[in-house]
Amino acid sequence: MQRIYLDANATTPVLPEVVDAMRPFWTETFGNPSSAHQSGQRTRSAVEHARASVATLLHCVAKEVVFTSGGTESDNLALSGILQPFLDSGESAHLITTQIEHHAVLYAAESLERRGIEVTYIAPTREGLIDPTTVEAALKPHTKLVSVMLANNETGAIQPVGKIARLVKEFAEHHATKILVHTDAVQAAAKLPIDLPGEFKNVDLLSLSGHKMYAPQGTGVLFVRKGVQLAPLFHGGPHERQRRAGTENVPGIVALGRAAELATQSLEDASRISNLATLRDRLETTLLATIPNAHANAANSLRVPNTTNIRFDGIDAESLLIALDMQGIAASFGAACQSGATEPSHVLLAMGLTPTEARSSLRLSLSRLTTAEEIDRALEIIPAAVTRLRSLQ
Ligand X SMILES: Cc1ncc(COP(=O)(O)O)c(C=O)c1O
Residues that bind ligand X (CB under 6 A): 70-72, 75, 102, 104, 149, 153, 184, 186-187, 209, 211, 220
Q: What is the Cα–Cα distance from 291 to 386, expressed in whole angstroms? A: 8
What region does 334 belong to: left with phi over 0, alpha with psi -120 to 50, or beta? left
Q: Which lies closer to ligand X via its Cβ, residue 149 or residue 382? A: 149
Q: Which lies closer to ligand X via its Cβ, residue 153 or residue 370? A: 153
Q: Which lies closer to ligand X via its Cβ, residue 165 or residue 291? A: 165
- The reply to whether 60 belongs to the active site is no
Residue 81 beta carbon to ligand X: minimum distance, rounded to whole angstroms? 16
Q: Which lies closer to ligand X via its Cβ, residue 64 or residue 75? A: 75
Residue 209 beta carbon to ligand X: minimum distance, rounded to whole angstroms? 3
Assign 3-class secondary structure to 128-160. CCCCHHHHHHHCCCCEEEEECCCECCCCCEECC
- Mapped onto helix, strand or coil, the DSSP state of residue 371 is coil
How far are the Cα atoms of 211, 284, 296, 307, 323 from residue 128, in angstroms, in the given order? Answer: 24, 17, 12, 13, 28
Residue 128 beta carbon to ligand X: minimum distance, rounded to whole angstroms? 13
How far are the Cα atoms of 48, 180, 225, 367 from residue 66, in angstroms, in the given order? Answer: 11, 17, 10, 26
Work out the angle at residue 252's Cα, subtended by the Cα atoms of residues 21 and 30, and round it to the nearest 5 degrees. Answer: 75
Residue 184 beta carbon to ligand X: minimum distance, rounded to whole angstroms? 5
Marked catalytic residue, from 337, 354, 371, 387: 337
Burial class (CB in 10 A: 0-12, 13-18, 19+), 86: buried
Q: Which residues contact 102 (CB under 8 A, 6 or more apart)?
A: 71, 75, 149, 153, 184, 186
- Mapped onto helix, strand or coil, the DSSP state of residue 169 is helix
Residue 7 beta carbon to ligand X: minimum distance, rounded to whole angstroms? 11
First to last CA, the chain: 29
Residue 258 beta carbon to ligand X: minimum distance, rounded to whole angstroms? 17
Residue nearest to ligand X (CB): 71
Q: Which lies closer to ligand X via its Cβ, residue 157 or residue 180? A: 157
Q: Which lies closer to ligand X via its Cβ, residue 106 or residue 315? A: 106
Q: Which residues are catalytic?
A: 337
